[in-house]
Amino acid sequence: AIANIGVVGLAAMGSNLARNLARHGNTVALYNRHYDRTEKLMSEHGNDGKFIPSKTIQEFVASLAKPRTAIIMVKAGAATDAVIEELADAMEPGDIIVDGGNSYFMDTIRREKDIRARGLHYVGCGVSGGEEGALNGPSLMPGGTEESWKTLGPILKSIAAVAEGEPCVTHIGENGAGHFVKMVHNGIEYSDMQLIAESYDLMRRGLGMSPVEIGDMFEEWNKTELNSYLIEITSEVLHQVDKKTGKPLVDVIVDQAGMKGTGTWTVQTALSLGVPVTGIAEAVFSRGLSGQEAQRAEADKVGLAGPDTAMNLSAEERKAFIEDIRHALYASKIVAYAQGFDEINAGAKEYGWKIDQAAVARIWRGGCIIRAQFLNVVSDAFESGQADVSLLLAPYFKEAIEQAEESWRRVVAQASLKGLPVPAFASSLSYYDGLRSKRLPAALIQGQRDLFGAHTYGRVDAPGAFHTLWAEPGRPEIEA
């Protein structure tokens, strides 16, 4: 038998992806460094479809039809490099190596160049949706050449999630474009989660609601424009009761959020591109603060000053404030997405990719962690060209924020007065206010820079660069 696709790396993600491929009529070659994983997949799920298991990479490559196409699903970093090397040695020009792991896009750019020089195709493909998505339909973000997309496209379309009748996969762009977009997807996921967490905290500590009451509220919110996978699972988490103690599970979980690096990459990349992704950055920093165990314990012991967080509102005021939080969440979410798409735009310019933002929004509507009804209107805004400058300037989102604005300000102000941390809400609002300010205090900063470092400044009334001779009052400025 001959396979039309192969999977290398059969841990949680790889075995589920292989099963998904087999269930959709593909004949799937299988290889894992330790054969026991391959055996386990065959014995437990061999009936899912047609598989060709191999014990060596040479056997695996020999079982593939030309052009041979293999998807690597191993640990990102050195393991991926090792597998690429083995595959490239065994393959022939024209064959396609796909990396479906969470690789850093600069690694993908480097690997693509190396592999192309050997006459093979190399595709870095973002895979979102976790284990469940890999099995039942992920959102897929492949980079690489147009030529490789011709072979790979139909295979990926066969296994991707479907949203509004369309498969959640599109050719993102050359070399590292797919992994870049997957990275920003994860950054946006961080900010979505942080905004939800801040909303929860305001209701919990500010309004004194129980986890179940808040879970019910998220269930209600899931029927609004906030409808999304993350809001849905938040409700599920908040309704969960710990079997051991009978307490709400959320109260038994240690309040330290882990991270594997893609959020950090998103912010590091944004910093080097000069794109303000304040919502994502605050989300990453908040996880960082949550992990500062020793500092937090000491601060708690010392007792840093601050107000009582309870807001003591009447039933009616409480209802109104919950609505305010919902509006603040929506407005901040729009800002985070606007910033994420700005980063994609800046990355595309820097690395020479042609990325269709509308198509990106469309493939995020299903399969992935940030899937949301809201992405329909995001893709419409890009499709129509109304979001070319910023998503915030597209009429639909401009109006949505106008409707939410007062609530948003009340939430940030009240949270501040009550000592409740809302870094993502507050930074998103400040970004919005900065964007709409006709003049920013950056003029003062530029003046300071010219004084201490002769960095020069532009004038509002004349072209060119100017420098003031600060020490000589009679001669205020010269053209630099």
Contact 61, 5 (CB under 8 A): no
- Report 109-148 residues binding ligand NBP (CB under 6 A): 127, 130-131
The yes or no reply on residue 176 touching ligand NBP (CB under 6 A) is: no
**73/14 Cα distance (integer angstroms):** 5
376 membership: H or E segment, kind and range: helix 374-383
Which of helix, strand or coil describes residue 313? coil
Return the amino acid letter for 215: G
Q: Which stretch binds ligand NBP (CB under 6 A): 9-17, 301-309, 338-346, 468-476?
A: 9-17
Active site residue 85: no
Minimum Å gap between C-beta 260 and ligand NBP is 7
Q: Which listed residue (86, 182, 333, 418) is catalytic?
A: 182
Q: Out of 42, 76, 212, 393, name the contact with ligand NBP by CB under 6 A.
A: 76
**204/7 Cα distance (integer angstroms):** 45
Q: Which residue is nearest to ligand NBP (CB)?
A: 101
Q: How many CB atoms lie within 10 A of CB 195?
A: 28
The yes or no reply on residue 75 touching ligand NBP (CB under 6 A) is: yes
Q: Which stretch binds ligand NBP (CB under 6 A): 7-15, 21-29, 154-162, 244-252?
A: 7-15
Q: How many CB atoms lie within 10 A of CB 108?
A: 27
Question: In the complex with ligand NBP, which residue's Cβ is closer, 131 or 219?
Answer: 131
Q: Which stretch binds ligand NBP (CB under 6 A): 12-20, 41-49, 159-167, 382-390?
A: 12-20
Counting DSSP H helices and E strands in the chain, the numbers are: 20, 12
128 is in an annotated binding site: yes
Q: Which listed residue (189, 198, 282, 343) is catalytic?
A: 189
Contact 408, 429 (CB under 8 A): yes
449 is in an annotated binding site: yes
Active site residue 189: yes
The yes or no reply on residue 84 touching ligand NBP (CB under 6 A) is: no
129 is in an annotated binding site: yes
In terms of Cα–Cα distance, which of 229, 191, 11, 192 is closest to 101?
11
179 is in an annotated binding site: no
The yes or no reply on residue 455 touching ligand NBP (CB under 6 A) is: no
Q: Using alpha carbons only, how large is the chain's radius of gyration in Å?
A: 26
239 is in an annotated binding site: no
- What are the helix (H) ranges across 91-204? 105-117, 130-136, 146-159, 177-201
The yes or no reply on residue 310 touching ligand NBP (CB under 6 A) is: no
Two structure tokens written together for 387: 């979001």
Q: Which positions are annotated as active-site residues?
A: 182, 189
Known binding-site residue numbers for substrate = 102, 128-130, 185-186, 190, 260, 287, 449, 455
